Amino acid sequence: MPGDSSSPESSNAIGKTLDGFEPVRPSELGSNEVGSSELRREELPQGEPANAPFGKTLTDHSGQRAAEIRSRLGVAANTDVRSGSKTQRTLASKPWFTRRRVATGVSLLVILIAACLAGAILASAIQRATENLVRRSLLSVLAANEHSLKMMFSDLRSESERYSKDEVVRQLCRDCLQSGDAEREQVTSQLLVEIPPLIGSVPWVLLDQSGQIASSSRRSLIDLRLDLSKSNFDRLHGGQSTLVLPQYVQGWEDRDAIMVMVSPLMDRHQCYGAFGWVMEADDRFSQLLQITRSGETDESYAMDGQGRLLSSSRFEEALGDKGFPRNSVLNYEIRDPGYDVLLENAVNDPDVRRPLTRMADQATRRADGMDLSGYRNYRGAMVVGAWKWLPDLEFAVVTEMELSEAYLPATILRRVLIATLAGVVIFAGIAISLIAYSRHRAFRRLQREEEAIDGRRIGQYRIVELLGVGGMGSVYRGRHEYLRRDVAIKVLEGEQLSSRSVARFHREVQLTSTLRHPNTIAIFDFGQYSAVTGESQIGTVSLDDEVDPGETFYYVMEYIDGISLQQLIDFYGPQSPERTVHFLLQICGSIAEAHKAGLIHRDIKPANILVSAHGGLWDHIKVLDFGLVKDIGGDSNLTLQEGVTRADSMTGTPLYMAPETIRDPATASPRGDIYSIGSVGYALLTGRPIFDGDSVIDLCLKQLEEVPKRPEERVSHELPNQLQDILMRCLDRSVENRFASVAECTAALESLPEAGRWTQAMSADWWENEFEQAARTQPGQTKNPTLDDAALTR
């Protein structure tokens, strides 16, 4: 039975220190040239312990034992006992090609061939993985640049269209275009009152039908003429907004290339002018493309249909020293120089006509694409890149990175792989010849470690075995010296010791020990043990105190022989609605007590919740790991120094954190725990978390921006609507729409038809059949100590 700690399956559930190792008996090691494999334990010399290491027995007593056997059989010292004939054992009589040496050579050859094949396969896999990583990186940066540019120009278009349709502005613009110079100045003043500058003082302009600037919020632009393309004229006369690409305007004192987003001024379907906003190409436009820079050589830029650079080059200053123009906008063409300009001593010759780069050749044909094999860019460096033509803006946006930087991880891994293969070839022969000896020594070392752990004591507790190791301590199974009761002991010692970690350790045990709910892990003892004095005491440590590295801090909690809900989901899949409600009611009971005490758990997740069957209780829940708890009750006895676990720090698991907690950890509230309870119920019901993602950032973004699907949409069968409604209310992104308290959530769960339908008899049947079958076939998969390894690592 799972509840019986003496059953083999229960022992497997606890786990063993020497998983996968079997004791090596002397009779299994084969014969030895010095002694016989048929020597028995009773033939050991007097005083030799029965469990003495076999290697030691051969070393110390092989000659004596062989002499004794020969004397008993009446054979001379140089007689072969097995054949009965006298043979002189000399090195010359033994052939060099022995069976062992031939086997070693064949094994070495097999290992060499296998290593080469594995290396080739691994190198190919590394290359493919790196290419996928580079592809995703380029596409991500390209998409970000595209989105940023579209958003910026969309905002400018909206503003220009708004004013071009405003009756007051339209009338003033008409008066300005039809008036003389004196009246135009007065109208311009009125327009300055009606049209305030955009953020960053972006100036506006008023164009006549020929493209001449009749009025502007920047005086230096008035009377200058913009070169409008045929596409610009067609769009304006068709009543559409258009972007005038960067150009140098003759007579403008700033001498910077400008671009204008203009909207037509229409009267009876006739365009009599245009209103728009001006932006300098090497200012905000170029800066927007520079935001996504992350490496040393990656660059994003824009180019027009003729292959000219529309934004500032990242390498503008360095290229200027090589004979290129100092201002790159419209002065650089995306052409292949045939060599790396920055590495060669040659100076650019502007009279030499170069071909377009591979990227520019496709982009000027309005084609999107990506090149991961490498091509030369406008400065001659070998790069990988992705590009996209934006038809609405009439230019292409490009993202490139040098080939060496893009595939640097693959290069490093290949070098490591070559070095590893060389090491395998060099040491394979030594490893094969010593494999039996190394296995025996490894077994003996683990055995000694187990004996050392078994003999260790902390206070009144004897350490039995190690259960798990994490960033905030190690957990052992121990036994009280006098009560003979198994307990779980969390220990903080060695390299894990610091004033901050000790203070947080104290805080965790103090807060958890205030809770008494039967579904909350129970704390029995807490202390500080010195290995030097062997004394155990209780003390407190502040953040400013120095911690003695010889000290061991520990607390003792009840030992739960069961599995976590995460393991239940991983190995047994979705649970029935009745069992899910049964689990949720117990979890709510534990968290409700914590909230009543003014504590917020902040890390409720399946890995921190154990389910067990012991003491006649089946499917009994225990909530663990109150190390990230936030005290909102203001109890000075429980609140330690600031900085131990800061309320505004990012703690917990994003998969089960409320959106407001991800956005601002300082806003953690009881309703955030209710969100986490709903996430746990969702995972139990569907066998999957509420969101899937490739990274923590991806999960956080989905938590903040997306609404979870109803559980029924994630599975292939129907689910009770009322239960789904409760879970979706818990998972509502709006804090106000969730249950006001855990008690209210409990009441809603208790009102369900599924509440109370999961009986103890059904639980017992599951543990005795499904769990026992899994424990026999995969005992390691059902092991779960009191504190799971994943729960320890934060």
Binding residues for ATP: 490
Cβ-Cβ contacts under 8 Å for 781 (sequence gap 6 or more): 567, 571, 774
758 secondary structure, DSSP code: S
The residue type at 558: E
What distance lies between CA 648 and its chain's CA centroid?
21
Q: Which residues touch 466 (CB under 8 Å, ≥6 apart)? A: 17, 453, 474, 475, 476
207 closest CA partner among 278, 152, 280:
278
666's CB contacts (< 8 A; 6+ apart) are 647, 648
In angstroms, rounded to a whole number, what is the distance separating the alpha carbons of residues 481 and 460? 6
421 close to 115: Cβ distance less than 8 angstroms: yes
CA 464/CA 788 separation, integer angstroms: 17
Sheet containing strand 258-267, strands side by side: 213-216, 204-207, 270-280, 258-267, 242-247
Q: Retrieve residue 524's tokens.
A: 């029995």
Q: Whole-angstrom Cα distance, residue 679 to residue 662?
A: 15
CB burial of 436-460 (b: ≥16 within 10 Å; e: otherwise) equals eeeeeeebeeeeeebeeeeeeebbe
Task: Give phi and psi for 552, each to the nearest 5.
Answer: -125, 120
Q: Could you tell me if 161 and 169 are in contact, meaning their C-beta atoms sit under 8 angstroms apart?
A: no
Q: How far apart are CA 618 and CA 570, in angstroms?
A: 20
Pairing verdict, β 299-303 and 609-614: unpaired
For residue 496, the 8-state DSSP code is G
- Backbone torsions φ then ψ of 508, nearest 5 degrees: -60, -50
Instruction: Using the CB atoms, write b or e for 422-432: b if 16+ within 10 Å.
Output: eebeeebeeeb
Alpha-carbon dihedral sign for residues 446, 447, 448, 453? positive
Q: Smallest Cα–Cα separation from 507: which of 360, 617, 636, 639? A: 639
Sequence-distant (6+) residues with CB within 8 A of 204 are 160, 163, 195, 197, 216, 217, 275, 276, 277, 278
Q: Is 508 left (phi over 0), alpha (psi -120 to 50) or beta?
A: alpha
Rounded CA separation 743/738 (Å): 12
Strand 617-623: give its sheet, edge to edge.
Answer: 562-564, 609-614, 617-623
248-252: long-range pairs with CB below 8 Å, 24+: 248/330, 249/221, 249/224, 249/225, 250/224, 250/225, 251/223, 251/224, 252/220, 252/221, 252/224
Nearest C-alpha neighbor of 685 from the set 677, 695, 694, 696: 677
As a whole number of Å, the end-to-end CA separation of the chain is: 34
DSSP designation for 770: I
Q: List CB contacts of 274: < 8 A, sequence separation 6 or more.
A: 164, 206, 207, 236, 262, 263, 264, 265
Residues 34 and 60: beta-carbon distance below 8 Å: no
* HEC secondary structure over 251-319: CCCCCCCEEEEEEEEEECCEEEEEEEEEEEHHHHHHHHHHCCCCCCCCEEEEECCCCEECCCCCCHHHH
The whole-angstrom separation of Cα 703 and Cα 318 is 44
- Most distant CA pair in the chain, distance: 137
